[in-house]
Chain A
């Protein structure tokens, strides 16, 4: 954590990501105890042999998924800002999945409720995907952290011209 009140989320740097999918496998492993990739809270997207990035919940400040839920089953965690589904209220209608711009929400076919990244709050080493990422493409960071990375990259590029 850091940068005052900003929320931390798992961010993937596409320039560093090699598309290895270990984040997806590790997430399913730690959350489900087996490799059920449909229930992974992070997904590798690799539409082309040279384009790849993992996508998970960005913890939107004004989360459209929360607003879209007709049964008010989604709420924002007061401390870390993660989106918390209420398993009793959730009917598995899928409006939140449609509202999410990143496809970060998955449907659990057995419980008929949605699953969303919770930053592995219960684990001492933080999100398992960040811990496992062999290339450090994943980072638990904030909007400001991402902005700094981009700024630094732009300045280095300009300086080398």
Chain B
């Protein structure tokens, strides 16, 4: 693959049709790769209003344009789709050998549309694509699937991204797992893959990846490798992210017992320090990463075989303090099962913690839990629930819907303690004692997320009083989101972020050395802003409402009862103030819609199709009725695709090729005058 010459593979599972399309250089200038390019391809290929679990919802894989090169921690890829958990954009990152293999196979992106009739896996062997039956893989765990496919194909270097039983059963927070320990966890990308009856994508990439400036790349990267062995990455290298447990506990920001408390009596017992002493097996790295943050732990002896799993802070908090479990061995066991079955451990922990509170409040009884004493702190019951969710057995079937839907189904006010934003369970940062983070959770395009809106960093810095909600946080959250969008699109792992002396300038040089595309630091920053707008534009198209930028009832109605932040509140007025401040900082309307001029300013004028119906009570932000026929403001017609150039030639790469022009264009629907606010 020559730098600057990129192609994507469009795979229609329904028709078993495969097409290679060139990706214009302009896309890499505007959206970089990863999440940014993925968001653009989603806008182009998703049928407006598609049910996330229908064939009309594409599953988009986009590699970093710097994967399979020397760029440190740059071998990553994004999965982008319409999330079955949130109904909004679901963009999830993972990394390592699969990302590199995608580029080595000659592709920058895969867009998977339609759905297979029976369970299938794809084998992409450089330029050839095979649709393989996968009935023998049904019900297999993620790692078992990888091993089975490598045996099938008799190649130990084939790289595989797979779903587990949870993805097959459409658990709304199932992930897509690759290379043994890496996960595109959040937002239910695995359920989308399961709905397409696609068990796995296996890659054999043996083509050379070329870069524009090898000498320049070596120079830049060798320096970064040195810095990456130093203080900026010490936390990740030594204890890994589990070091956060004691830090957040000290700050009164460690979500405990379903966000009822902010400190955990068992924090010491489940701390990264303790795990390191008694459970560590090995510290490993992703492909191309000089840091090596991945800490793999064992759960001790136990049937059926010793469980070993990678553990990060988020998993540790979600299956630990959030469920009140203070025994590391049960947490590691539950995390191992999440990996095996292919589920997001944050949402799994969030759903179980919600059910535990329901059980303690007598909303659920022993007859609902099949006799399980589902109380906070009951490790064995938690592990049992993980199994039940993955297989949608008993109460697990309800919890597999995610806390938002589950609480709606259970009713009785249980949504008060369903701790999610836009349906995505909150990660391990207490919003009441981290006010900028609270704003980030509320407005995040993929829901409550610390990665897309990493504003906890603002709160933990000396720049602000983290307990105070005030104007000014909007701009700070905006900057954090733009910065994250650039990292997530280049893609460079966030753990490298402190290794750069001047991030936008350094990253622009790396990008130029890899791709030959020269961007100024300001171009790169603007790309981050553009990408955030593209994601928001998708959400508006798919029915985003002002009241979706909000936080759960507990957060806004209860004061923190314990710890150093005792008595601290976050009121609805304070949250509204910060949200409006954010909209203003973004250049949006007070209702959170994007004006046409703003879209044009960030280079997304083509997304405009007309004003949104802002009549009635939309402006109050509490509207529930929606215009039923909101089509896309994008809506490409069948002859002119807005960003993917029509192919010069149709490359016949399918096993069951259907040469000739493609009649159907994904995302083709009639534009019907819907767009952003005037």
Contact = CB atoms under 8 A, between A and B. Distances in A.
Contacts of A116: none
B233 to A, nearest CB: 10
Contacts of B291: 134
Contacts of A35: 68-69, 104, 208-211
Given A34-B209, A35-B208, A49-B181, A29 B281 contact: no
Interface string B288-299: 111110001000
A36 interface: yes
B144 interface: no
B210 A49 contact: no
B180 A48 contact: yes
A20 B206 contact: no
A134 B229 CA distance: 7
Interface string B192-230: 000000000000001111110010011000100100110
Contacts of A115: none
Contacts of A36: 207-209
A32 B207 CA distance: 12
Interface in A1-34: 18-22, 25-26, 28-29, 32-34
Nearest to B209: A35
Contact of A132 (B97, B104, B181, B225): B225
A49 B229 contact: no
Interface of B is mostly: loop
Given A25-B70, A49-B180, A134-B225, A34 B290 contact: no
A49 B209 contact: no
A38 B207 CA distance: 8
Contacts of B217: 29
Contacts of A28: 208
B328 interface: no
Given A34-B210, A49-B181, A50-B308, A22 B292 contact: no
Contact of A21 (B181, B288, B310): B288
Contacts of A20: 285-290, 292
B322 to A, nearest CB: 25
B14 interface: no
A103 to B, nearest CB: 11
Contacts of B180: 48-49
A38 B286 contact: no
A135 interface: yes
Most buried by B among A20, A36, A37, A135: A20
A112 B375 CA distance: 66
Given A29-B214, A34-B210, A134-B229, A21 B287 contact: yes
Contacts of B181: 49
A21 B97 contact: yes
A78 interface: no
Given A32-B208, A38-B206, A18 B70 contact: no
Given A29-B214, A50-B308, A18 B69 contact: no
B649 interface: no
B111 to A, nearest CB: 24
Contacts of B229: 134
Interface in A103-161: 131-132, 134-135
A37 B101 CA distance: 10
Nearest to A39: B208
B475 interface: no
Given A29-B70, A29-B218, A18 B283 contact: yes
B68 A25 contact: yes
Contact of B228 (A29, A34, A49, A134): A134
B94 to A, nearest CB: 14
Most buried by B among A19, A21, A131: A19
B156 interface: yes
B239 to A, nearest CB: 15
* Size band of the interface chain A makes with B: 20 to 34
B284 A37 contact: no
Interface in A40-96: 47-50, 52
B282 interface: yes
A21 B210 CA distance: 17
A32 B211 CA distance: 12
A25 B286 contact: no
Nearest to B283: A18
A37 B211 contact: no
A127 B81 CA distance: 44
B282 A50 contact: yes
Contacts of B283: 18
B284 A50 contact: yes
B70 A26 contact: yes
Interface string B254-297: 00000000000000000000000000011111111111100010
Nearest to B309: A49
Contacts of A37: 68, 104, 206
Contact of B70 (A22, A48, A50): A22
B288 A22 contact: yes
A19 B211 contact: no
B180 to A, nearest CB: 4
A66 to B, nearest CB: 27
A48 B309 CA distance: 12
A49 B296 contact: yes
B226 to A, nearest CB: 8
Nearest to B205: A37
A28 to B, nearest CB: 8
A139 B97 CA distance: 24
A41 to B, nearest CB: 15
A49 B143 CA distance: 9
Contacts of A52: 284
A80 B10 CA distance: 51
A48 B296 CA distance: 12
Interface string B148-185: 00000000100000000000000000000000110000
Contacts of B296: 49-50
B157 to A, nearest CB: 9
A18 B222 contact: no
Interface string B352-373: 0000000000000000000000
Contacts of B104: 35, 37
A25 B209 CA distance: 10
Most buried by A among B97, B217, B222, B285: B285
Contacts of A21: 97, 100, 287-288
B292 A18 contact: yes
A34 B103 CA distance: 13
B173 to A, nearest CB: 22
Contacts of A34: 208-211, 214
A34 B289 CA distance: 18
26 contacts: A18-B285, A18-B289, A18-B292, A19-B284, A19-B285, A20-B289, A21-B100, A21-B287, A22-B70, A22-B225, A22-B290, A25-B70, A26-B70, A29-B70, A34-B208, A34-B209, A34-B214, A35-B209, A37-B104, A37-B206, A38-B206, A49-B308, A50-B281, A134-B225, A134-B229, A134-B290
3 A-B pairs with least C-beta separation: A36-B208, A134-B290, A49-B180
Given A26-B70, A134-B225, 14 more contacts: A20-B286, A21-B100, A29-B70, A29-B218, A32-B208, A34-B210, A34-B211, A35-B104, A36-B208, A36-B209, A37-B104, A48-B180, A49-B282, A134-B291
Interface of B: 68-70, 97, 100, 104, 143, 156, 180-181, 206-211, 214, 217-218, 222, 225, 228-229, 281-292, 296, 308, 310
